[in-house]
């Protein structure tokens, strides 16, 4: 996978992806228990290509690095890498990268409707130290893409 910088700002860095073939890594396919341990038995090794596993459409998928802690209660932290798919339709409750007044931000969408008409859009942080952003008609606003994966380094 080759990464090209598309946008770098204080809040978010966005990168385009060039996905190449044959990027398989070894997968221990023995079922790693997150509950009580179980006998290991024989290890079964397989391969997995993370490009095929994580990216539905390379032309609409972008990688970004998060800056800030407004989404920490969703376990998305400062410095995490996120995958964004621009082909997924926005919906209430989805986590989205939004462009508002010249800045990108990652927030949970709260779309309030009456019938089929959108009455209000809130960009909701997942951290009580931050306030929701209400999108007003005068804002330059775009839902840029929908979060599909977050990668945290431990």
- Residues assigned a catalytic role: 70, 107
The sign one gets for the Cα dihedral 72, 75, 78, 83 is: negative
**How many Cα atoms sit within 13 Å of 45 on the Cβ side?**
3
The C-alpha atoms of residue 37 and residue 105 are separated, in whole angstroms, by: 40
Radius of gyration of the CA atoms of the chain, in A: 18
């Amino acid at each position: 996978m080759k990464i090209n910088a598309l946008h770098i700002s204080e809040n978010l860095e966005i990168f385009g992806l060039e996905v190449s073939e044959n990027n398989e890594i070894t997968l221990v396919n023995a079922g790693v228990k997150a509950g009580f341990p179980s006998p290991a038995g024989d290890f079964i090794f397989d391969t997995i290509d993370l490009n095929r596993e994580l990216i539905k459409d390379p032309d609409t998928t972008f990688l970004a690095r998060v800056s800030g802690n407004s989404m920490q209660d969703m376990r998305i932290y400062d410095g995490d890498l996120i995958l964004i798919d621009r082909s997924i339709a926005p919906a209430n409750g989805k986590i989205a990268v939004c462009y508002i007044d010249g800045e990108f931000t990652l927030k949970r969408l709260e779309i309030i409707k009456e019938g089929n008409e959108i009455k209000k859009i809130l960009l909701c942080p997942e951290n009580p130290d931050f306030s929701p952003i209400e999108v007003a008609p005068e804002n330059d606003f775009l839902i840029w893409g929908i979060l599909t994966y977050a990668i945290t380094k431990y």
